[in-house]
Amino acid sequence: MNRDIFVIIEHLGGEVADISYVMLAAAREIATALQGEVVGILLGEGIENLGQNLAADMVWLFDDPRLADYSPTTYLHILGELIQQHVPRTVIFGDTSTGAEVAAGLSARLDLPMVSACHRVTVGDQSLGYESRICGGRIQVQGELPSPTALIAMVPGGYNPDSGRSAAPPPSEMLAVPRLEEQPIHLLSYIQPETGDVDISRAEVLVAVGRGIQNQDNLEIVEELAEALGGDVCASRPVVDQGWLPVSRLVGKSGRRVRPKIYLALGISGAPEHVEAIGDSQVIVAVNTDPEAPIFNLAQFGTTSDLFDLVPVLTDHIRQARSERVA
């Protein structure tokens, strides 16, 4: 039986994405237990340097101008052939805007079992298992990853990405790109995010609002609080989808990752897509009337006070504290 673990390395704009190191850390644990090897797989153009700090036993490169930009159909074609040819024990993708759709497509195409939202992989005597979190991070699901090959879409949080980095460059090998027929999907252009007036990824103080804010008019009290704190307002997905705040203020999987000194989360439940982007905050204080909200599993401090009662009072206290300091 093949014991090798394939990791599909994600990268964008010439940089390896953080999730890739999380996946490599997971792969290393599995490979050590199974006595297999970790194989990092990179697709792109001019990507040889991207493999330099990957904690892999081998990096396979598909380096070709036709792979300069991500296309789901091209990835399905190349990875489908590779997996069929080598039959690895498991293939780890990021549960991201690219990895999730390629993993699911391959599961259907190759008739291989897949699991998404995978947080940890467990290794038994002869078996591999998964632990996934679904339903907004409230429910944990466990089960076996069947052999010969299982596909995993992994979320961050279960492994330390530092264990996926290596000081010494791993050996690498260039693989030939299989024949590609005319593809139905083409990239036209990349549009870089507009940071507008603020770049929340650099902010030291963030006041974040979620669905609990209820409507756009209520943003006023939050803006006042942020102003009193000398910080910026940001939001989770539902607030941006409603058009109440611009996408430049979005924190989460498809928005910005933030690392402030303090992240004040108001009416945010703590869905995995949001939580994965705030883990580097120094301190998180969560305000949510639902005592079971998953945000309290991540936050250092919390309260179930109603944000509409608390926020105006908190703003007053902060203003008072500032004026006392000046005096």
Partner 1 sequence: MNIIVIAKMVPDLVEELVVDPGGKGLDLDWIRWKPNEFDDHAIEQAILIKERQGAQVTVVIPNMDGAEDALYAAAAKGADRLVKLRGEFTGSANNHALARALGKYLPELQPDLLLTGVQAHNDLDGSLGPLLAEFMGLPYVGYVAGFNLQGGKAIVRKEHPGGVVAEMEISLPAVLGIQAAEQAPRYVAFSRIRQAMKTTAIEEHEIPHLDISGAAEVSLMKQVESGERAEMFAGDADHVADRIVAVLRELGIL
Calculate the alpha carbon distances from 258 to 5, 55, 79 in Å. Answer: 31, 25, 32
Footprint (CB under 8 A) of partner 1, residues 286-305: 286, 290, 292, 294, 296-305
245 contacts: CB under 8 Å, gap ≥ 6? 209, 219, 233, 234, 235, 239
| Residue (of 141, 146, 129, 149) closest to 26 by Cα position | 129
Tell me how far, at minimum, the Cβ of 167 lies from partner 1, in Å.
Answer: 26
Asked if residue 135 binds partner 1 (CB under 8 A), the reply is yes
Between 179 and 325, CB nearer to partner 1 = 325
Distance between CA 62 and CA 70 in Å, rounded? 12
**Using the rule CB under 8 A, which residue among 35, 85, 125, 139 binds partner 1?**
139
Q: Which stretch binds partner 1 (CB under 8 A): 1-9, 20-28, 100-108, 164-172?
A: 100-108
Asked if residue 114 binds partner 1 (CB under 8 A), the reply is yes
User: What's the chain's length in residues?
Assistant: 327
Distance between CA 321 and CA 327 in Å, rounded? 10
Asked if residue 241 binds partner 1 (CB under 8 A), the reply is yes
Footprint (CB under 8 A) of partner 1, residues 197-226: 204-205
Between 129 and 169, CB nearer to partner 1 = 129
Calculate the alpha carbon distances from 178 to 58, 67, 78, 82, 99 in Å. Answer: 20, 12, 7, 9, 20
Asked if residue 127 binds partner 1 (CB under 8 A), the reply is no
Could you write out the three-class secondary structure of 226-263?
HHHHCCEEEECHHHHHCCCCCHHHEECCCCECCCCCEE
Tell me how far, at minimum, the Cβ of 161 lies from partner 1, in Å.
Answer: 14
**Using the rule CB under 8 A, which residue among 144, 161, 163, 198 binds partner 1?**
144
Asked if residue 116 binds partner 1 (CB under 8 A), the reply is yes
**One symbol per residue from 255 to 274: x for binding partner 1 (CB under 8 A), - otherwise; what is it?**
xxx---xx-x----x-x---
Footprint (CB under 8 A) of partner 1, residues 178-197: 184-193
Residue 206 CB neighbours (<10 A): 27
Q: CB–CB of 180/74 below 8 Å?
A: yes
Footprint (CB under 8 A) of partner 1, residues 38-77: 69-73, 76
